[in-house]
Amino acid sequence: MVTADHFERALADVRPAFGVTDVDLAATYAPDGMLLADPSLPNRLSISEVLDRVPTIRNRIPLASLYLCGPAGTGRSATALQVAQAIGYDFVRVFSPASLAGSVISDSLIASKITELLENAYRAPESVVVLDDLEDLIEYGQGGLRYSQIVLQTVRAYLRKTPPAGHKMVIIATATSKMPGINVNSLFNVTVNLQPLTVGEVLDTTAAYLETRGIKGVDAATLRTELDVDSFKAAETCIPIKALMFEANSWAKTAPESTDDHLEHIVDSLRTILPL
């Protein structure tokens, strides 16, 4: 006898032909977890503040779009992951240039894959689709003098297409810039600019992270003194968040015998990423 449980198990076995599933998101885009800067710092937005900018969450409109823009190392993909999961919709998919690995890539192929992904998303009552590295997907270059017209037109069409009645969709895109010349960000409801960390923010974030890991005696003031940051003229120099995340994971995996040993290890590793 076939029951509803059989159908549920069958659906659980179905894997999409392309794109990254919600199960794979964390492993793909944040394999080492997230290291969040204090949102009270200048230019820092918490995930909840980003969500507040997406009108579908509060106003329940059928379609909303978010453009996450920032230089390399600012955690665009990981932020998109956090936002997608925080929205709470069951259907979450990510499409990026990596999704096309092994294919003979052409403009028409990219456009058709984006179309297929979004059409599948429309079938779900609530869905989130992330277009990661949108610049590469539309082959943007030379200040907007070169780009794929067919891919851009496909993205533009779906940003204007209302989902079926009773359905809701959020489309999130990530890019390193607003793409001057074609201003792709203007197609989206909301643009959020992500910024690298300054030297001071790296130290504040490091101290907060160490406290969450139960590592005592290493505060921001101590780090500033050890690194002599106050005498560093370029204290506002920006540091990629990914570089700090890499070092933070090494701190978590080591177990020095004393706080002094841990402090020395942390200071040495910070010197590898801070232009001191």
118 and 130 housed in the same domain = yes
DSSP string spanning 252-266?
A: HH---SSHHHHHHHH
DSSP-assigned letter for residue 23: T
* Tens of pLDDT, residues 8-25: 554 444 444 444 455 455
**Distance (Å, whole) CA 241 – CA 35:** 8
The model's pTM? 0.77
CATH number at residue 71: 3.40.50.300
- State the average pLDDT over residues 210-235: 72
For residue 184, give its domain range. Answer: 16-193
**Distance (Å, whole) CA 268 – CA 276:** 11
Per-range mean pLDDT, top range of 4-8, 23-27, 71-75, 243-247: 71-75
**Distance (Å, whole) CA 22 – CA 18:** 12
186 and 227 housed in the same domain = no
Integer CA distances (angstroms), 65 to 28, 69, 211, 255, 259, in order: 22, 13, 36, 44, 46
Task: Examine residue 145 and state whether it is found in any structural domain, yes or no.
Answer: yes
**Distance (Å, whole) CA 118 – CA 162:** 12
Per-range mean pLDDT, top range of 5-19, 129-143, 208-222: 129-143
205 and 111 housed in the same domain = no
210 and 143 housed in the same domain = no
DSSP-assigned letter for residue 131: E
